[in-house]
Structure 1
């Protein structure tokens, strides 16, 4: 079994258990009697809802049955009240578990993005934009984005990472409102389960999890096995130079190695004018190994 297939197997097991444990009896129309030793539905309750035996569900959750039929998966998805994004994630885990040979070998986590994507970054100025990889390492950005984030201390590290910054840098708590900080945290951690089958065994992936596991807000979210759809979302930032900013982030899948292009759309005319006035057109920046971005 390939490492990717093994990761997908573990992902199916962990995902099914996490969703059962997060679903209360009341959410599925079942009575709840007294306190429960463990949170969520009992196996026998989920098995009854999905029309299968408790023994078979146990084999699935423990990884002893690794070839569930489409009908079984559809029944579980319905019983667990999975969202569309969660259904797609489960389907992808199963596909990679059984058809790993059909998927191309994953590129390195911090692989460079295509020259054409870097050109697109440059042409997006004065819209701030960056490209980040599957574990949120930022691999390229344009001058407008640098103007925005350098005063925030984000580019102080040699290899900027959105998740490390968000959970470990106190500045992140100061620039976002509490609700925006939480929404951003959920969004970023929700990208990691999709990366885990391909990059979960990579040293950079493990190092990231080890680093941010010291933050309780990360640990609680990580244990919950979040899966989110990346959609445009609004945020209010308190920028130390520009002041209050209202933005909408749009994220598009680009390049190789699970890379995404994130654009900060400035919905406030005053903010947009300030960014345009302060930005000096330069080629897109990339971290240089062994030195801090200048």
Structure 2
């Protein structure tokens, strides 16, 4: 049985072209990607030990081994942080059988003050489970008519996988679904995320379950949103991690092109709007 750590190492190895690491592209490769022997050599570990990690038979590699594997895979800073997180939960952080307390939904006052300064821009505070905890009038206008904000406690992950309207609101639905499923690996805690995945899987079906085992971060691309007015809007997302243990993030959406900026200004009109705290 595999582990999150082993699945990530194997998946990342399969995506690497040997020539990108200066290795010869041998014509007799049975599968694309970096061979296990090649990674073991680059990391300075035995093939047998690397096999145990990938197959989930070694769940507690040392920090030195993790760093060596990260070097062997040429991971960037974000991937290295994710590797350390997966090592932590693989080592037994998810073994509790009691349901954990849900993450706190309160947003600290300084973060809400920052949100008010962003009015009437497009911003929200969320956590890695997809709970929408606060949002500006600009975000309310952007998602008006989509159904996302209709519930008392909106959750973007549940909306994406359970509400058919999400496929209309997000023309790049697969990309958004990949992002939401991957974010569950990042908190608020391993136990909370595990319970969330277990609850969502039976009702969300294969579109969710086939994504939750993926360990590679999806690419960072502009978010496209279909507005009920007929405008298709493209947004860059700037994400600020808020301090604390609840994995809250302040996400600011910025027009990705001039057409989006102009179209959204027309939608906004003279409505000054106000901040929403859920």
> Could you tell me the TM-score, scaled by structure 2's length?
0.75
**May I ask how many residue pairs the two structures share in their alignment?**
265
Say if 1:260 and 1:135 are closer, same or farther in 2 by CA, change over 3 A.
same
Q: Secondary structure at the match of 2:266?
A: helix
C-alpha displacement at 1:153, in angstroms?
1.3
1:60 Cα deviation (Å)?
A: 2.6
Q: Displacement of 1:115 after TM fit?
A: 2.9
Give the Å deviation of 1:260.
0.8
Q: Does structure 1 residue 15 correspond to structure 2 residue 8?
A: yes
Deviation at 1:221, TM superposition (A): 3.6
User: For 1:273, which of 246, 265, 268 is the aligned residue?
Assistant: 265
Q: 1:213 to 1:31 in 2, by over 3 A?
A: farther
2:237 aligns to what?
A: 249
How high is the TM-score relative to the length of structure 1? 0.72
Structure 2 partner of 1:47: 40
Name which of 242, 250, 255 aligns with 1:261.
Answer: 250
Q: Distance in 1 between matches of 2:146 and 2:39?
A: 47
Where in structure 2 are there 5+ consecutive unaligned residues? 94-99
Give the one of 164, 182, 189 matched to 1:190: 182
SS of structure 2 residue aligned to 1:191:
helix
- Structure 1 unaligned regions, length at least 5: 1-8, 101-105, 287-294
Q: 2:195 aligns with which of 187, 199, 203?
A: 203
> What secondary structure is seen at the aligned counterpart in 2 of 1:154?
coil
RMSD: 3.5
- Pairing 1:86–2:79 present: yes
C-alpha distance after superposition, 1:23-47 (max 9, x if no partner): 46666535253656xx755544432
Cα distance between partner residues in 1 of 2:194 and 2:185: 14
2:22 aligned with 1:33 = no
- In the alignment, what sits opposite 1:5? none
